[in-house]
Amino acid sequence: MAKHKWEAEVTAALGTVWRRREFWKQLVVISDPVLLQEVFALEREGAIEKPDSLISWDETKDKNVLTSKTADPMWKLVRKGTAPAFQPNNMRQYHHHIVDIIERLIQGIKQKGSAPVIDVADIAQRESFDTIGKIGFGRDFAASRDIDNTVNNTFRLLTNDFEESMRRAVFPLRRYSRSQDKLAADANHRRVRAVIEALVKDCQNRPPSNEDAGSIAGHLLRLRDARGKPLTTERLIEEFEIFFIAGSETTGHTIAWTLYFLATHPKAMARLEAELDAAGLLKTAANPQPRTVTYADISKLHFLDCAVKEAMRLQPVAAQPLRRVTTRDIRLSSGHLIPAGVFVELAQYSVMRSKAWGWEEGDAFKPERWEEPDVEYFEHSRGSGGRANNTTEDDLEINGSKARDGKVKRYNPFGQGVRNCLGQQLARMNVPTAVAMFVSEFEFTVAPEDAQKSIDELEVLKGTLQPKSGIHMICKQR
Ligand code: HEM
């Protein structure tokens, strides 16, 4: 059984705070939204930190914005310095690149006939990879240009590299292994470094342009530390790579899961089609050339938003509990004491499904649940999964804002607190644009080879929660 499902089952049996061992490490698993909010709030003051085992592939101690400790001034520098790259104005400026990339993919699918069987998970990875390449680093990696090309795909190298680094986070001694697959992973890593290093050099040497100024690369290259020094090339390579990985894998899998749920829930798909049609975005006999999805459309397509949120609740790509280590003893409002040096697993997967936190039919895809107000909140004053509930409003302060009206977040696919997802605005623009554009052109039906598989058979948790061997669908041209 996959780890996220196993942890949800143990939580149902043992309660929302329990201990386990992983080799020599002591781990506390928490899946109570009130306690999660408390713990994430402690991250701001350094009471919990990113564990060392996450850090650095080759022990050069070069970290990146995802793996650095919150207390590390470099983390703050990079986080603050790159955040403007994801501001709405910037996103609006770059939206047309996403449209161009998806149009390329649509043409590629159409070339295969009127109703070909396509691995939509692969298509979605190509989309998100080219998007981050173009918007983040001003480079067309052309994964969307030829959908049959499986050789020379930088994105495959990167995902392999990411999977290996997740393996090392769990098995730190693996870096000393001489096994065949580990040596292959090392070779893969060297190729990734070479590609990223070339990209860094290219970005450094290109003449300045407006296009580059707002990109992730542009922001990283302009960063200066307290002594006025730019980031070292080693650090830039680390940062480029992590933005690439964090930005593409996650977004691509989210697009794939959303299309899968829509294809398997005809009523929801019909509602989305009606919404797109009303907006002039659906290809029909009456509208054979629908207009292109714009940035402004995204906030107006409410049912699409509901469908994406519901897919991210059920199949959050970050289904693996977020891991931290305590730097001092912490006492939770539930009375639990977690000593310094203990690993804490912040397990949001079960929180986003469990009846204990108010999700009715929590395992079902019901986008309409998001039509109610405040769905992402749980009213903790009504009791919480059977544990002692003496949390005060002060305990719940997070990101400068208190929990709303005694409500606490029970939906956090982008993480929580000061280390939440830096690139979520890009994902929030990319995922709905992709889903709207693909649905506008094709009717999706899961192909026989995948139609009989349960979600347990379709998914695998490999760093992210992703399709195990793709998701094959008949893409019938409208
Ligand atoms: C659907 C898409 C995405 C999901 C579900 C997602 C999810 C997450 C989550 C859960 C975290 C927190 C990890 C932790 O607390 O340990 C995170 C962090 C991060 N994400 Fe995303 N992410 C997505 C897309 C993106 C994109 C598009 C980018 C950038 C291009 C990005 C860049 C980052 C970075 C840099 C961090 C580290 C932030 C920090 O530690 O300060 N993510 N993401």
Domain ranges within the chain, ordered by starting residue: 3-18+55-322+349-378+396-469
- Are the C-beta atoms of residues 443 and 80 closer than 8 Å to each other? no
Q: pTM for this structure?
A: 0.93
Reading the block at residue 441, the tokens are 């052109």
Candidate from 39-53, 254-268, 304-318, 442-456 with smallest mean pLDDT: 39-53
Q: What's the gap in Å between 452 CA and the centre of ligand 1?
A: 32
CB of 243 within 6 A of ligand 1: the answer is yes
Q: Please give the pLDDT value at position 382.
A: 45
Q: What's the gap in Å between 322 CA and the centre of ligand 1?
A: 11
Q: Please give the pLDDT value at position 154.
A: 75
Q: Is pLDDT above 70 for 287? A: yes
Q: Please give the pLDDT value at position 22.
A: 82
Reading the block at residue 167, the tokens are 């393996």
Q: Is pLDDT above 60 for 242? A: yes
Q: Is pLDDT above 80 for 85? A: yes
Q: Please give the pLDDT value at position 386.
A: 40
Q: What's the gap in Å between 383 CA and the centre of ligand 1?
A: 31
Q: Please give the pLDDT value at position 406.
A: 74
Q: Is pLDDT above 60 for 55? A: no
CB of 169 within 6 A of ligand 1: the answer is no
pLDDT tens for residues 290-345?
999 999 999 999 999 999 999 999 999 999 899 999 999 999 999 999 999 999 99
pLDDT tens for residues 402-431?
455 678 999 999 999 999 999 999 999 999
Candidate from 157-161, 335-339, 366-370 with smallest mean pLDDT: 157-161
Per the listing, tokens 């080219």 go with 130
Q: Could you tell me where the DSSP H helices lie in 111-232?
A: 120-131, 137, 154-170, 180-205, 210-213, 216-222
pLDDT tens for residues 164-188?
877 776 777 787 889 999 899 889 8
CB atoms within 10 A of CB 246: 20
Q: What's the gap in Å between 250 CA and the centre of ligand 1?
A: 8
Whose Cα sits closest to atom 11 in ligand 1?
Answer: 421
Q: Please give the pLDDT value at position 117.
A: 98
Q: What's the gap in Å between 153 CA and the centre of ligand 1?
A: 23
**Residue 162 and residue 320: Cα distance in Å, rounded?**
14
CB of 356 within 6 A of ligand 1: the answer is no
**Residue 468 and residue 466: Cα distance in Å, rounded?**
6
**Residue 275 and residue 371: Cα distance in Å, rounded?**
14
Q: Please give the mean pLDDT across all residues of the chain.
A: 89
Whose Cα sits closest to atom 37 in ligand 1?
Answer: 66
Stronger pLDDT, 212 or 286, i.e. the higher one: 286
* Bridge partners, 119 (sequence order): 472
Q: Please give the pLDDT value at position 434.
A: 98
Q: What's the gap in Å between 387 CA and the centre of ligand 1?
A: 30
The CATH superfamily of 3-18+55-322+349-378+396-469 is: Cytochrome P450 (1.10.630.10)
Q: Is pLDDT above 80 for 53? A: no
Provide the percentage of residues in the chain whose pLDDT is more than 90: 71
Q: Is pLDDT above 70 for 191? A: yes
Provide the percentage of residues in the chain whose pLDDT is more than 70: 91
CB of 142 within 6 A of ligand 1: the answer is no
- In angstroms, how far apart are the furthest CA atoms of the chain? 66
| Cα 352 to the center of its chain, rounded Å | 15
Q: Please give the pLDDT value at position 381.
A: 58
Pocket test for ligand 1, best of 137, 421, 465 (most atoms within 8 A of CB): 421
* CA within 13 Å, CB half, 158: 27
Pocket test for ligand 1, best of 424, 428, 431, 461 (most atoms within 8 A of CB): 424
The residue among 141, 33, 137 whose CA lies nearest residue 381 is: 33
Q: Please give the pLDDT value at position 397.
A: 37
Whose Cα sits closest to atom 17 in ligand 1?
Answer: 421
CB of 295 within 6 A of ligand 1: the answer is no
